[in-house]
């Protein structure tokens, strides 16, 4: 009996004439994710993708684990491929393949999907025949069409007949790479990894920018960011991280700018540098983990001052979320425990005692221009550290 994975597309089915390019991107992402596990045949047809193992000894549990993190898949199932596309093959395959699930259940139902209209039986007839066969093999079972313990699915497709039970919910969203490319400003906190995950879910390919200020921040703080991105990379795929040496810029900020404007000017400098890196990598947008009103630099006035420093679009997927909602997602993607490790990031260096919550752009720009950060920005861009991030094993 051949076993494979049957994956169901999500929003891709709504893409009309562009659907093929989305499916191709999804298949490419699946291939990259599964490549370390062996050889696979990956094919798409009729709003579904089949993943057939071609190497011996492939761990399908690990395949399912990796597939569960791939955006663009709404659900997936381990399925048996019937030797022939006949009702006789369906009747012999389903009870054997699902024996363990059916013996442990008390109730069941059968659902059939007949995409191949040349198949001689219609969906209700397939359900009736297979239901009768299962009842004869497992007499302890009862049919429950509303809340069964097990739902047996039969799919008659152009390229074969498939048997599976109770599909697993996938990651949803759009295939990474179909939405373009963007830079995520990544700190070691809770918010920015969640923001990265949410925008990758909408199809963006990510490049990460992290600001480090040694000796005020430690090598462990940078390592923490790498580990966070490795977790995000399970969903977003491999990415490049640029570490910006930010110490001299922050020291000049401390020495030459009004204390109450430290945070606003720092955020503007981060946006300017990140935008330069974005253009180096053909990225068309910036992403931040800001949430309206969460801290002094995230008021409407402060965000307006920050926005003015960049002329490309800035995505803030967390802008309307409260902290608990953000934390809940960080638990889901397994970044929370790493995010709360007690290593300082540069955003906490030289924190003003009384930050301005309603800054005026005119005065912010005057203070920034007076300090003249341009030479230090060029120096930082000449000394970027580049790290390639892969999903953690």
Tally of domains within the chain: 2
> Which domain does 118 fall in, by range?
2-171
pLDDT tens digits, one per residue of 200-248 = 999 999 999 999 999 988 899 999 999 999 999 999 999 999 999 999 9
Last residue of a domain, one of 171, 206, 233: 171
Instruction: Say whether both 96 and 231 belong to one domain.
Output: no
* DSSP per-residue string spanning 72-116: TEEEEEEEEEPSSSSHHHHHHHHHHHTHHHHHH-SEEEEEEEE--
Q: pLDDT value at position 176?
A: 96
Last residue of a domain, one of 154, 171, 188: 171
Supply angle C-alpha 14, 232, 290, rounded to 5.
85
Cα–Cα distance, 375 to 253 (Å, whole number): 13
Instruction: Say whether both 160 and 188 belong to one domain.
Output: no
pLDDT bucket at 28, cuts 50 / 70 / 90: very high
Q: Which CATH number do you get for residue 255?
A: 3.40.50.620
Per the listing, tokens 């370390």 go with: 36
Q: Looking at per-residue confidence, does 316 or 46 come out higher?
A: 316
Q: pLDDT value at position 55?
A: 85
Q: pLDDT value at position 383?
A: 97
Closest CA to 261 of 187, 347, 363: 363
pTM of the predicted model, to two decimals? 0.91
Instruction: Say whether both 141 and 218 belong to one domain.
Output: no
120: Cα within 13 Å, side-chain hemisphere: 5
Q: pLDDT value at position 259?
A: 87
Q: Which CATH number do you get for residue 26?
A: 3.30.2130.30
pLDDT bucket at 17, cuts 50 / 70 / 90: confident
Strands (E), the chain: 2-9, 40-45, 48-53, 73-81, 107-114, 142-143, 150-157, 160-165, 168-172, 180-185, 204-212, 239-245, 285-287, 313-315, 385-389
CB-count exposure of residue 222 (10 Å: 0-12, 13-18, 19+): buried
Percent of the chain with pLDDT over 70: 99
Instruction: Say whether both 145 and 184 belong to one domain.
Output: no
* pLDDT at residue 135 tops 90: yes
* pLDDT at residue 12 tops 90: no
Cα–Cα distance, 249 to 266 (Å, whole number): 9
Instruction: Say whether both 90 and 184 belong to one domain.
Output: no
Which tokens belong to 292? 């309206």
Instruction: Say whether both 125 and 158 belong to one domain.
Output: yes
* pLDDT at residue 36 tops 80: yes
Q: pLDDT value at position 90?
A: 96
Q: pLDDT value at position 166?
A: 85
pLDDT tens digits, one per residue of 339-379 = 999 877 777 767 777 777 788 889 999 989 999 999 999 99
* DSSP per-residue string spanning 217-231: S-HHHHHHHHHHHHH
Which tokens belong to 145? 């069409």
């Amino acid at each position: 009996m051949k076993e494979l994975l049957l994956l169901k597309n999500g929003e891709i089915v709504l893409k009309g004439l562009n659907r093929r390019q989305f499916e191709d991107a999804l298949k490419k992402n699946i291939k990259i994710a599964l490549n370390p596990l062996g050889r696979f045949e990956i094919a798409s047809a009729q709003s579904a993708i089949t993943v057939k193992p071609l190497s011996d000894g492939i761990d399908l549990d690990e395949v399912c684990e990796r597939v569960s993190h791939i955006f663009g898949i709404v659900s997936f199932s381990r399925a048996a491929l019937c030797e022939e596309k006949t009702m006789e093959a369906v009747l012999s395959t389903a009870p054997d393949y699902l024996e363990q699930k059916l013996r442990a259940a008390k109730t069941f139902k059968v659902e059939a999907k007949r995409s191949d209209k040349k198949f001689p039986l219609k969906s209700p007839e397939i359900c009736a025949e297979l239901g009768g066969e299962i009842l004869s093999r497992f007499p302890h079972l009862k049919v429950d069409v509303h809340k069964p313990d097990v739902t047996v699915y039969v799919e008659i497709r152009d390229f074969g007949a498939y048997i599976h039970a109770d599909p697993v919910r996938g990651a949803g969203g759009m295939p990474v790479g179909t939405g373009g490319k963007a830079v995520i400003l990544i700190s070691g906190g809770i918010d920015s990894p969640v923001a990265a995950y949410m925008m990758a879910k909408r199809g963006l390919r990510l490049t990460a920018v992290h600001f480090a200020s040694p000796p005020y921040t430690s090598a462990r703080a940078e390592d923490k960011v790498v580990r966070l991105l490795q977790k995000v990379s399970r969903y977003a795929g491999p990415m490049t991280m640029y570490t910006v040496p930010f110490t001299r810029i922050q020291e000049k900020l401390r020495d030459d700018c009004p204390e109450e404007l430290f945070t606003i000017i720092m955020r503007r400098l981060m946006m300017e540098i990140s935008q330069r890196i974005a253009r180096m990598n053909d990225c068309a947008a910036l992403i931040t983990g800001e949430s309206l009103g969460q801290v002094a630099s995230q008021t409407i006035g402060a965000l307006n001052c920050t926005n003015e420093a960049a002329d490309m679009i800035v995505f803030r997927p967390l802008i309307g979320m409260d902290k608990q909602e953000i934390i809940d997602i960080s638990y889901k993607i397994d970044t929370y425990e790493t995010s709360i490790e007690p290593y300082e990031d540069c955003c906490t260096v030289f924190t003003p005692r009384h930050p301005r919550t309603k800054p005026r752009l005119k005065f912010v720009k005057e203070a920034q221009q007076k300090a003249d950060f341009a030479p230090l920005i060029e120096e930082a861009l000449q000394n970027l550290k580049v790290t390639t991030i892969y999903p953690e094993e």
